Structure 1
């Protein structure tokens, strides 16, 4: 990660590390003599993190940054950005009035060897334009309606400064999208101004067995699945997806819950509710939202 920041053609003028590690072992390693050459020339600040989960750490960073620049970027420590990352994102924001810019990325193994690209819709992949302006309708229909996050995560996205609230307050139309904080933030940002999608692969996401996405039965992964339903409810409320598209999402997640979580006690109510929600049964949406709020509260979201 340090090498990626060190090699930027346009270097960030301020880099804030929030150390969420036990006992501050991250800071000790970061500030070690061994890594001094990689820190050289980088405006690094280090502070203790809240140690209360990834999202609280994101909020901690955004609050520490305190709207100090026109653009901001949340870089997770298992991801790497290529040398032209900030340059290309800066050009994207200079080319139009966008809420955020999202670049394509590779997915790699733990050694950093690229294995595959982030799947994107055919219309995007086949476009000859390097920058694509995507409005909220496109953003919602190509993600929530299909239960797919082809955008990626915070590491491959640069936000305009006045969009910080979408990170700090994760809800749309009064419905929390906790569990899909990244996708939810992109969609909330698209409601403010269009998204600029950059066709270039400007970094990679490093996969490993200890990451949240590999912990199938964790509350985080369960929340990620259920957050698609929450986003579909809010998307339908504000008219960004149709009733049919919402129904497709509800049915898709119902199948996922039945496949992965058939024996999980905390998923019983959701497994009973989602088929009713897909049929637009009376009271089903209120039942889901009540269960969703209980689940989020129980798991500290």
Structure 2
């Protein structure tokens, strides 16, 4: 039997791969773009003299952040030309992600949408500091700013996110209970059941990417959202089935039509009612919901 030994550069990259993917994904909201960033990171990493690198994790995170920032700036232009609302790409995640409260919150669809409202540099600083506990000096090296400037950016970004994120953490069981009530109401076409579980100011955002039918703008208010959902399910050609799953570390629904994947619906729950519905139907964004994507913060 031959002895397969891996070189130190490959070993280090493989050891930190899930972490690097998570950094890139949280910055970009796109698994496909995160994979491209990892490829670019690898190409730069193999040119480095690994023996001279004191902290391999920090060095790899720095390369990944720079590549993700470059891509994030070009994605901004892509999103401006996008048809309808743009939602992050949903990822089917392993149960251990849901068990890690910090990780589950950092990749939740609700928080990822808030991150969309930050500038590219603010998003990079917030993600590295809040989710990955990277030092200000390291972040400064990654984003090309002074540590003092990074502290200010981090403070500004945190204030911005705190004003928009859910006010209190909701347990997965509470989210699941609200989702099950929502699922029953949709399954049975029960408008009153929907009105009971939806918050009065609920917002539904659907993303069809111009490929699948979706509302081009967010729909606000329990009455309008209920009418939309009842209308969509009533017009469905073929049998609709809705199953509970875990997407981005949080309970969510997978919608199938005649057994074919139709979309993924993530939710934001506050005080036992659904305040946000995020329905991804763009087929290009549904490639990561049939098999689990491993994520890591450390």
Q: Which has the higher helix share?
A: 2
The one of the two structures with greater contact order (alpha-carbon pairs below 8 A, sep at least 6) is 2
Give TM-score scaled by structure 1 length.
Answer: 0.24
Give TM-score scaled by structure 2 length.
Answer: 0.24
